[in-house]
Amino acid sequence: MRVLLAMSGGVDSSVAGALLLDAGHEVMGATMKLWGGESDTGCCSVADVDDARRVAQQLDIDHLVFNFSDDFDEHVVQPYVAAHRDGTTPNPCIECNRHLKFHRLSERADLLGFDAVATGHHARIAIVDGRWYVHRGADSAKDQSYVVHVLPQRELARTLFPVGAMTKTEVRERAGALGLRTATKPDSQDVCFITNSGGRTAFLGSRIPLRPARVVDMSGNAVGSVDSIEMVTLGQRRGIGLPGGGPKRYVVDVDHAAATVVVGPESALDRDVQRITRPVWAHEPIRGDVLVQCSAHGTPAPARLVGDEVRWEAPQRAVAAGQSIVFYDRTNTYVLGGALAG
């Protein structure tokens, strides 16, 4: 089988290439040039492209670079900025997976005559009742099923996750045994277009006006202020202009129209019901009992899907509007679909 391998310049995609070759596939590496601006983190730096190219040489496979920077700006960067402007929480890595690392890569694979695409994600794909589903990766600490929950049947049927059955330790050991230059390279942790030196404030401040806001308690009494309401999200505890000492206070509401941040005890974030919007499904819409995960490494909680609501079996912390919520089967094995918090 001819496989187009997305190579980020990290250890996981490097080992994925070796595993595909061991399985007898014809493999070509492809690195996507996504972000054209300054980058000192994530997976878009010049050094990452160079690492991918050199690993391809070590594996003796051809390597291409695809410039998808316009698509990245349209589908990832601009929505990220707009979300902060409008008071919602963006999901840049999930949107990058949806639009670039799978959809655009699959289009290019079709054009070049490949049978499948592969990435270094820690997840698995398997058939349940005749349909394809994303399954959790073998390494629970590195599982990435949450961030690839958006894949439809066509993408699932032609996508390979070669390292999904391995732990991260096993991946690094395999890379070391092969002498790959990425064997000890640290994992990417942050949004690739937000630099460590400037951070979100500098990035967003150059693109949208940042507005100061007052901070009040749940009775409406002024207790502080923040320089930018666009930097504040539900559940936040640090960076909200409050003095130290005393009981912990969290952001329990953000009113962008009134430029007001409300803080209160953690218990004020508890909800019995979470509204959802813009659902996507691996196969067909699901109703009834599911497990629900609200962050990349969050703990799944039992709930029922009823209409456009998640009804928790026990109260859970409120999810910021716009954040991805992912639904798993009750065995916590595979992804049924996902949605955005409303």
Determine if residue 149 is left, alpha or beta; phi over 0 gives left, psi from -120 to 50 gives alpha, anything else beta: alpha
Positions marked active-site = 96, 192
| Distance from chain centroid for Cα 16 | 20
Give exposure, 252-281, as e/b (b: 16+ Cβ within 10 Å): bebebeeebbbbbeeebbeeeebbbeeebb
Helix, strand, or coil (residue 177): helix
Quote the tokens at residue 170. 């096993």
| Distance from chain centroid for Cα 27 | 26
Q: Which residues have CB under 8 Å from 211's CB, separation 6+?
A: 228, 229, 230, 259
Phi/psi at 128 (5° precision)? -130, 120
CA distances in angstroms from 53 to 37, 65, 73, 180, 293, listed in the order given: 20, 9, 24, 12, 36
Quote the tokens at residue 212. 């100061």
Contact by Cβ (8 Å): 131, 282 = yes
Helix, strand, or coil (residue 288): strand
- Give CA torsion, residues 236, 239, 243, 248, to 10 deg: 20
